[in-house]
A and B are shown apart, each in its own frame.
Chain A
């Protein structure tokens, strides 16, 4: 599952995008992994993540199957971290997303000190991940490079849309929806934060970075492609 590896953007555009992932390995350390994964997520909260999630239940902003029509005028757009932590009930991948290096570095340091026994990965620009390792006093064990998109790239949308839609690596945030949200922000129909929250609800493992998305939406709304 390369759900965060192929995010689109320049190295600079990842300065507000750090995904820290904890993953148990099947048959190696998956026994009793649930409390460790919960601990991992709980430890992230004091460092002000922009999202938390697990691969089975989703992120801190989730769709609701029984909405009251009044939400059209007043909708709760804040992530609910407790739901993610309480809902984690199976050994799966857990993720904490941060929009600044200081929080990510401090969190990684805390995770290293906690010694949960789970594999931990940082998905961001290569240099920024190295900086997190240094701050935590650890070294990189392995690295998975993204070589980007190739082949029939003419079938891909423009780079603003791509930046937004690839923040759900599973492809659950569609390019058409990202384009629609850019247009809505451009027309003043929704704020960048609101538009980012709509998109976050489609991400099924909670790695969507709504803070980065809001920044991209704001910037994309100033040009017409």
Chain B
């Protein structure tokens, strides 16, 4: 993403809406500027800001006059008055930033918008996570901190050493040069994204061991992690196995995504429910 300096009037609106704080007013040129190292190409500025198409010369002059009188014109806070944002053509490996940060861009690996897969949201049809299993989503960088791939790789290495299986149709897995060791492509390691999700599946007995492993790696990486644990309920709708393990580990279970089990296969050529595809060592 770039900001056209001929259009920008340095109103500052965009500096607040950047999820990772990568936009600032460069006092030397009095224009909004993007810190390219920190920018994750999420397009929140370009997609989220409404646009006016005002004449920048007139807007700057008006702002100058107001400033001289210590007056402030209070524009709408979600507007770029001169439509100054212009998308950059992105090339590899920088394009990875957008793939993981702009939710409107579907991943080629999954075909769905966002950074993960369908998880348990379609478990009633996919049968990915069965009784006796847990599906884990380990998300990095959210909310608003961002993550570098070299930090994600630390977690992937640790999980691979523990012999866990990575979800095959996951954007992070698709960037592994060696799934057996959890090694990511070298050319993306210095790319920063808004968030990325590593997905694994394991027997329920390994839940505690894997979570403790995640806790250890969290200490070595410079971002936040959010864990999601997917489990199949019993026929009466209760889940009596995984929740106690999580509570024993100290988690206060408050929020969840609940699949109510009314999906069914309707595609003419669709096969019956298949197990989750995984890459294991």
Contact = CB atoms under 8 A, between A and B. Distances in A.
B259 A141 contact: yes
A133 B264 CA distance: 18
B123 A141 contact: yes
17 contacts: A3-B114, A27-B267, A28-B270, A115-B262, A141-B260, A142-B120, A142-B258, A143-B256, A144-B259, A145-B243, A149-B224, A150-B225, A170-B194, A174-B144, A180-B77, A198-B78, A204-B103
Given A72-B75, A152-B145, A172-B19, 7 more contacts: A24-B122, A142-B259, A143-B231, A144-B120, A144-B231, A152-B223, A172-B42
Interface string B207-244: 00000000100100111111111111101111100110
Nearest to B116: A1
Interface string A13-56: 01000000101111111111000000000000000000000011
A169 interface: yes
Nearest to B117: A1
A55 B78 contact: no
Given A139-B237, A144-B120, A6 B44 contact: no
Interface of B: 15-21, 42, 44, 47-54, 74-79, 83, 103-104, 110-126, 129, 135, 137, 139, 142-145, 194-195, 197, 215, 218, 221-233, 235-239, 242-243, 246, 251, 253-268, 270
Contacts of B111: 26
A143 to B, nearest CB: 5
B112 A1 contact: yes
Contacts of A93: 112-113, 121
Contact of B226 (A9, A115, A146, A184): A146
B265 A28 contact: yes
Contacts, number: 353
A143 B233 contact: yes
Contacts of A171: 19, 42, 44, 142-144, 194-195
Most B CB within 10 A of own CB, among A92, A149, A171 = A171
B208 to A, nearest CB: 13
Contacts of A177: 16-17, 77
A14 B255 contact: yes
B246 A138 contact: no
Contact of A117 (B17, B194, B264): B264
Interface string A106-120: 001001100111111
A50 to B, nearest CB: 18
Given A141-B232, A175-B143, A176-B18, A63 B50 contact: yes
Contacts of A139: 233, 235-237, 260-261
Nearest to A175: B144
Given A71-B76, A141-B261, A147 B226 contact: yes
Nearest to A26: B111
A165 B144 CA distance: 9
Contacts of B83: 65
Given A71-B76, A141-B123, A150 B227 contact: yes
Q: What 7 pairs across the A-B complex have the smallest Cβ distances?
A: A1-B114, A141-B261, A139-B237, A119-B263, A202-B48, A129-B258, A25-B122
Given A142-B120, A147-B229, A151-B218, A4 B257 contact: yes
Given A125-B254, A140-B260, A156 B228 contact: no
A3 to B, nearest CB: 6
A174 B16 contact: yes
Contact of B126 (A28, A111, A153, A201): A28
Nearest to B129: A142
A63 B17 CA distance: 13
Interface string A53-65: 0011000000111
Most A CB within 10 A of own CB, among B42, B111, B260 = B260
Contacts of B124: 119, 141-142
